Amino acid sequence: MDPGVKRMPYTPDIDIRDFIVLEEVMEKYELGPNGAMILASDLMVNFLDDLKYEIDEYNPDWVFVDTAGQLELFAFRDTGPLIASSLGFGSIQKTVSFLFDSHLVLRPNGFISTLLLAASVQFRFRNISQINVLSKVDLLGEDQIDMIVNWSQDFKALEDSTNERESGLIRELSMLLSEVFVALGSTSELIPCSKNEEYGLDLLFAYFQRIFDSDESKFY
């Protein structure tokens, strides 16, 4: 579902670029890359029936929808939730996977910023369950993985780390925000994964099964 992607590490069964291509949008509407991506994300709704037809042709047990990485293009525009709700068939169940960038969340303020984004996405797709994934953990050490996962499970530990490792205005803002999450009590559990080493993929699949309570369920 990314009309601007140049190279992909896999071959998708269904590709939005068969219907809309970023360069063509740029030329037709005389826009730069950023403006064209915004417009292209809105124009996708014109092809929902075509996408639904192609999905139905495969009669799949699983459908993975890979969206553009920019949150503002999918999660924070009306088209994102519309696409997510429209691509379902009947009682098909869905879930949203939100990726925590492994390097961005190594410091408490980066983790808190990402946690806020994850909570915002969960609010935007409020009728769809969400799984939070710590991606590219092959780039981290085991101690770093344990630290980040612990922050996601114990907000008091996150608050303590914020107090110890941040300073100045960043510390004050991070402390205030961490207190918000302490008050809330919990968020979606963070699952560490790496596709390169196939780390955590079995756990991620188990979470999918737990959400839908059946290995026979169709879902997004």
Count of domains in the chain? 2
Same-domain check for residues 12 and 63: yes
Q: What is the pLDDT of residues 81-99, one digit of tens each?
A: 888 877 764 456 788 889 9
| pTM as predicted | 0.82
Identify whether 159 is part of a domain. yes
Identify whether 184 is part of a domain. yes
The three-state DSSP-derived secondary structure of the chain is CCCCCCCCCCCCCCCHHHCCCHHHHHHHHCCCHHHHHHHHHHHHHHHHHHHHHHHHHHCCCECCCCCCCCHHHHCCCCHHHHHHHHCCCCCCECEEEEEEECCCCCCHHHHHHHHHHHHHHHHHCCCCEEEEEEECHHHCCHHHHHHHHHHHHCHHHHHHHHHHHCCHHHHHHHHHHHHHHHHHCCCCCEEECECCCCECHHHHHHHHHHHHCCCCCCEC
Identify whether 85 is part of a domain. no
Same-domain check for residues 114 and 166: yes
Same-domain check for residues 139 and 107: yes
Same-domain check for residues 97 and 162: yes
pLDDT at position 6, please?
A: 87
Q: What is the pLDDT of residues 126-182, one digit of tens each?
A: 778 888 999 999 999 999 999 999 988 887 888 888 888 888 888 888 778 777 776
Q: What is the pLDDT of residues 182-220, one digit of tens each?
A: 676 556 679 999 988 888 999 888 888 887 765 444 444
Range of 13's domain? 1-80
